[in-house]
Amino acid sequence: MGVGAPYGQPSRFESEVMRRDIDWLFPDERASVNFTPLQDLHGIVTPNGLHFARHHAGVPDINPDEHRLLIHGLVQRPLLFTMDELMRFPSVSRIHFIECSGNGTLEWTQAVMPTVQFTHGMIGCSEWTGVRLSTLLDEVGVDRQARWILAESADAAGLARSIPMAKALDDAMVVYAQNGERIRPEQGYPLRLLCPGFEGNANVKWLRRLEVGTRPWMTREETSRYTDLMPDGSARQFTFVNEAKSVITFPSGGQQLRERGSYEIRGLAWSGRGKVKRVDVSVDGGNNWETAKLQQPVLSKCLTSFRMTWTWQGEPLLLQSRVIDESGYVQPTIRQLRKVRGTRSTYHNNAIQTWKLDVEGKVSNVQI
Amino acid sequence: MGVGAPYGQPSRFESEVMRRDIDWLFPDERASVNFTPLQDLHGIVTPNGLHFARHHAGVPDINPDEHRLLIHGLVQRPLLFTMDELMRFPSVSRIHFIECSGNGTLEWTQAVMPTVQFTHGMIGCSEWTGVRLSTLLDEVGVDRQARWILAESADAAGLARSIPMAKALDDAMVVYAQNGERIRPEQGYPLRLLCPGFEGNANVKWLRRLEVGTRPWMTREETSRYTDLMPDGSARQFTFVNEAKSVITFPSGGQQLRERGSYEIRGLAWSGRGKVKRVDVSVDGGNNWETAKLQQPVLSKCLTSFRMTWTWQGEPLLLQSRVIDESGYVQPTIRQLRKVRGTRSTYHNNAIQTWKLDVEGKVSNVQI
């Protein structure tokens, strides 16, 4: 073989490492989701080609030279920005995860999906580069009574979400690059909103419009969708923050230990509220816990790798991980979560995952 | 368009963002180099598809199930490892750059190449995951008199380098993953040596053999190549460490400012000796310097982004950046470097880069 291609690709021996969808989950492939193969990944950076992708109406094919971002509403100077103009503003780069609100949705009442790709693969972590939203809001001049911002996508769904002004002025960004290169089409090319630690679709892709106002817009994606139906019949609304969560990626569902001996338990932990403080691992279904090693640097609202050396003697085991974040929040069991939220929730499942290792070394998804 | 592909690709509007080679530089494309398009990238992570690739004899097509790593020589238990065995060891992830010793080689005596892709693009930065070499050396049991390790590639060149034992026991790793996924073929799939901060080819790709000994092996790549011919006719040997270096990537050679006004000067800085402490930027050819803003986190032996807001009034300018690392080392001018090293060096050029901005807004490569 010759030199590297102008744009390189993985080895042909890695062809099974791919995003996968669930063919029965959505009626139409244009409104679907491709899951990140967490079982095959290492460290915290998700390769752009394998980052989960969730669409409500396909991937628009946008020419960046024709794309515009409008900022209007309760502002002193409504402005329309070209991509070239946006890229001239002072920029920042941050490593953050994005997790879909629906990550784990099928696991609310029982263990359903066979692998960690499908139980937890609606998450990815990237180095994002762009402009702080506060920089752009300074440019347009926000009125004092403004409290919310509507972010609207240029996709066929016109996906829109209301974002609190406090978040916009804190750490929200308008981003054009992901892991060094321009954002991929399925991640919002040429421009997406990034609200670090907020549920996936608040990070509006193909961002074309920001409207400043006083109240939330009550869009489809924050009323009939992405709310949680509680046991008393009320709906939990504006659950923006991805609460702390963790999962063991090795050994995980569908994997097979070929022999007894020493292994390294590996996994990922994250919190939409800040840094991961500690991750505990149990091999007996949560009766005893041992603190895992965290890979430095531990960054805020970013995936954190955890690891624990371990020897398998051939006995059946129940493997779990539990994260505690810097706010003191402890990742709940699925029983604790259902006690509060009932069984009709669809979104925001951050429960502890249990993997069963049997005497044959086979790993499967269970709930206990 | 439908959902994201199983393995995603960049937008069709980004087709000019690619690795490029120099067709007159090497007689045979199997021994060539593809340069990273630094002018198009943002932040510190280099996408795997765009990471520079330098080969001495093409890219081997290795089946990981058949690949082995032999560790032998002055050890108590010579061992042959499969990839599965290596991946069971305790692992670590680190974000580090790799820079080819020849980065900037054409710029020793005059400004030659038109863009930053060709003047500085033999560098990339990735999150690497693998096993600390010290962990594997513990396993084989290194004899007390051991001082050096030979690392040998499985490529057709049989590329081999001698690595000091002190480096092997410090932060060297045997890595199998890059930015989350398994290393790409042109980066050493399935296994490469990582010697953080050491010149590119010391990070031996397609690693198949490590031999422990008492003295360096004096291989081709550390005698007739990768040494620097000094003014007195002697050769500087074992220049492992990439000394501190920086470059402005915007505005850079070949780019065009369309109008006067506010811009952000952007660039990258790095040091093989540790962290970047400070980056200064000059717009008058080095007479006056202003300290740039560094993007956090600043990591050891890792690219660091620097930025400085700046207003162009339409005057001609000479843009430069200068890094100071945590050891106190200051990046030299090309004149300072030539004063010590003469004009016959081929490798290890870490001089300050000058970009000339003319009144038309055109940027070109100059030496002053």
CATH code at B145? 3.90.420.10
Chain B positions in Cβ-Cβ contact with residue A127 (cut-off 8 Å): 43-45
Chain A positions in Cβ-Cβ contact with residue B59 (cut-off 8 Å): 1-4
Chain B positions in Cβ-Cβ contact with residue A10 (cut-off 8 Å): 7, 48, 181-182, 184-185
Evaluate whether residue A12 is within a structural domain: no
Evaluate whether residue B15 is within a structural domain: no
Do A330 and A228 have their domain in common? no
Each residue's pLDDT tens digit, B150-174: 999 999 999 999 999 999 999 999 9
pLDDT at A30: 77
pLDDT at B1: 40
Q: What percent of chain B has pLDDT over 90?
A: 94
Average pLDDT of the segment spanning B316-345? 96
Distance CA A148, CA A151 (A): 10
Tell me the ipTM for this assembly: 0.97
For the whole model, what pTM was predicted?
0.97
Asked which of A178, A204, A236 is the last residue of a domain, the reply is A236
Evaluate whether residue A219 is within a structural domain: yes
pLDDT at B138: 98
Average pLDDT of the segment spanning A105-119? 95
Do B38 and B181 have their domain in common? yes
Task: Please determine, for residue A1, whether its predicted confidence score (pLDDT) is greater than 60.
Answer: no
Query: Beta strands B293-294 and B245-250: pairing type?
Result: unpaired
B132 at A interface, C-beta within 8 A: no
Do B224 and B265 have their domain in common? no
B38 at A interface, C-beta within 8 A: no
Number of domains in chain B: 2
Average pLDDT of the segment spanning A334-363? 96
Residue of B349, B347, B351 whose CA lies nearest to B334: B351
Asked which of B206, B236, B266 is the last residue of a domain, the reply is B236
Distance CA B295, CA B317 (A): 25
**Between chain A and chain B, how many beta carbons pairs sit less than 8 Å apart?**
245
Each residue's pLDDT tens digit, A187-217: 999 999 999 999 999 999 999 999 999 999 9
| Contact state of B45 with A127 under an 8 Å Cβ cutoff | yes
Average pLDDT of the segment spanning A80-89? 98
Nearest residue of chain A to residue B177 (CA atoms): A42
Each residue's pLDDT tens digit, A310-328: 999 999 999 999 999 999 9
Task: Please determine, for residue B115, whether its predicted confidence score (pLDDT) is greater than 80.
Answer: yes
B19 vs A6, A128, A184: nearest CB: A6
What's the CATH code of the domain at B269?
A: 2.60.40.650
Do B88 and B219 have their domain in common? yes
B20 at A interface, C-beta within 8 A: yes
pLDDT at A24: 84
Do B221 and B266 have their domain in common? no
Evaluate whether residue A10 is within a structural domain: no
Q: Are B36 and A96 in contact (CB under 8 A)?
A: no
Do A260 and A179 have their domain in common? no
Chain A positions in Cβ-Cβ contact with residue B45 (cut-off 8 Å): 45, 126-127, 179-180
Which residues span the domain enclosing A282? 245-366
Evaluate whether residue A26 is within a structural domain: no
pLDDT at B29: 74
Do B202 and B258 have their domain in common? no
Evaluate whether residue B228 is within a structural domain: yes
pLDDT at A25: 82
Do B229 and B307 have their domain in common? no
Do B196 and B303 have their domain in common? no
pLDDT at B3: 58
Asked which of A236, A266, A301 is the last residue of a domain, the reply is A236
Q: Are B41 and B122 in contact (CB under 8 A)?
A: no
pLDDT at A346: 85
| DSSP element (H, E) containing A149 | strand A148-153
For chain A, positions 199-238, list CB contacts with chain B under 8 A. none
B43 vs A11, A53, A127: nearest CB: A127
B190 at A interface, C-beta within 8 A: yes
Do A210 and A106 have their domain in common? yes
Evaluate whether residue B71 is within a structural domain: yes
pLDDT band at A3 (very low <50, low <70, confident <90, very high): low
A63 vs B13, B34, B47: nearest CB: B13
Do B156 and B286 have their domain in common? no
Task: Please determine, for residue B243, whether its predicted confidence score (pLDDT) is greater than 50.
Answer: yes
| Contact state of A45 with B45 under an 8 Å Cβ cutoff | yes
| Contact state of A4 with B34 under an 8 Å Cβ cutoff | yes
Each residue's pLDDT tens digit, B201-215: 999 999 999 999 999
Give the closest-approach CA distance of A52 to chain B in angstroms. Answer: 8
Average pLDDT of the segment spanning B66-91? 98
| Contact state of B10 with A61 under an 8 Å Cβ cutoff | no
Q: What does residue A181 show for φ and ψ, rounded to 5 degrees?
A: -100, 170
A10 at B interface, C-beta within 8 A: yes
Evaluate whether residue A25 is within a structural domain: no
Do A347 and A265 have their domain in common? yes
Q: What does residue B139 show for φ and ψ, rounded to 5 degrees?
A: -65, -40
- With 0-12 / 13-18 / 19 or more C-beta atoms within 10 angstroms meaning exposed / middle / buried, residue B142 is buried
